[in-house]
């Protein structure tokens, strides 16, 4: 079976769900195909001021997650008017250049939400990604700004929206027997793990039945 994680680099809730994602990848290594896709947030989804952003961070990181640290709103530049595609484009570009794991996107998230860096500036995001990936900054910048990468991000965002969901993180769980489960906005590992277990169980049962009884009768 496979699990697809839809995210936006700038989403604080995606940051909070990363431990659950890492836990699932470790627990089901070799049993489940894990991948991530960009589902860009709309400009209107972003806070309009650092004061507003800090209020959201106090709620998510403090009240809900009870985190020992607070996220940094320094990345928010009001003149961007909610346009923070840059780190997402860079993460996708790095993947197209062979870095398909979580390293680059996690570095970009850390730079933004922990260090408060202006990752909305493509040059800043490229610098962060080049450092952890060892890719050429010049090449990474060119690929990040290419029509091909922009199209890939637009298409994955449209696919995300086709599920009629609006929260990041979102997870699409699909089994080889056609079962599908959609989780939108959850950051806890337990419901995801329980559903994966159930789907793996059913797929295994189907395989066992087929081994014993073969294909269904034509009539």
Q: Which token pair is 181?
A: 């489960």
What torsion, rounded to 10 degrees, do the Cα atoms 110, 115, 120, 126 define?
-60
The secondary structure of 63-129, three-state, reads: HHCCCCCCCCHHHCCHHHCCCCCHHHHHHHHHHHCCCCCCHHHHHHHHHHHHCCCCCCCHHHHHHHH
pLDDT band at 16 (very low <50, low <70, confident <90, very high): very high
| Residue 49 DSSP one-character state | S
Residue 125 φ/ψ, nearest 5 degrees: -65, -40
**pTM, 2 dp:** 0.96
Residue 168 φ/ψ, nearest 5 degrees: -115, 130
Q: What pLDDT, on the 0 to 100 scale, is given for residue 219?
A: 86
| pLDDT > 70: percent of the chain | 100
pLDDT, one tens digit per residue, over 168-211 is: 999 999 999 999 999 999 999 999 999 999 999 999 999 999 99
7 in Cβ contact with 41 (< 8 Å): no
Beta bridge mates, 62:
none
Sheet containing strand 33-38, strands side by side: 33-38, 2-7, 170-174, 180-184
pLDDT, one tens digit per residue, over 46-59 is: 999 999 999 999 99
Q: Which domains does the chain have, with CATH numbers?
A: 2-213 (3.40.30.10)
Q: Which token pair is 9?
A: 């680099």
């Amino acid at each position: 079976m496979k699990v697809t994680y839809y995210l936006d680099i700038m989403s604080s809730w995606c940051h909070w769900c990363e431990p659950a994602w890492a836990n699932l990848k470790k627990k089901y290594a070799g049993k489940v195909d894990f991948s991530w896709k960009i589902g860009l947030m709309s400009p209107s989804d972003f806070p309009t001021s650092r004061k507003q952003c800090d209020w959201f961070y106090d709620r998510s990181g403090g009240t809900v997650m009870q985190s020992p640290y607070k996220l940094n709103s320094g990345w928010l530049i009001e003149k961007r008017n909610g346009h923070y595609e840059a780190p997402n484009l860079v993460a996708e570009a790095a993947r197209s250049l062979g870095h398909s794991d979580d390293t680059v996107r996690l570095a970009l998230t850390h730079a933004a939400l922990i260090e408060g860096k202006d990752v909305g500036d493509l040059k800043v995001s490229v610098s962060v990604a080049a450092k952890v990936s060892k890719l050429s900054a010049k090449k990474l910048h060119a690929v990040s700004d290419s029509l091909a990468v922009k199209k890939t991000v637009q298409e994955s965002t449209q696919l995300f929206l086709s599920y009629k969901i609006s929260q990041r993180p979102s997870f699409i769980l699909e089994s080889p027997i056609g079962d599908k489960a959609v989780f939108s906005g959850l950051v806890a590992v337990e419901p995801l793990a329980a559903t994966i277990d159930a789907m793996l169980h059913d797929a295994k049962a189907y395989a066992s039945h087929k081994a014993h009884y073969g294909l269904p009768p034509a009539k």
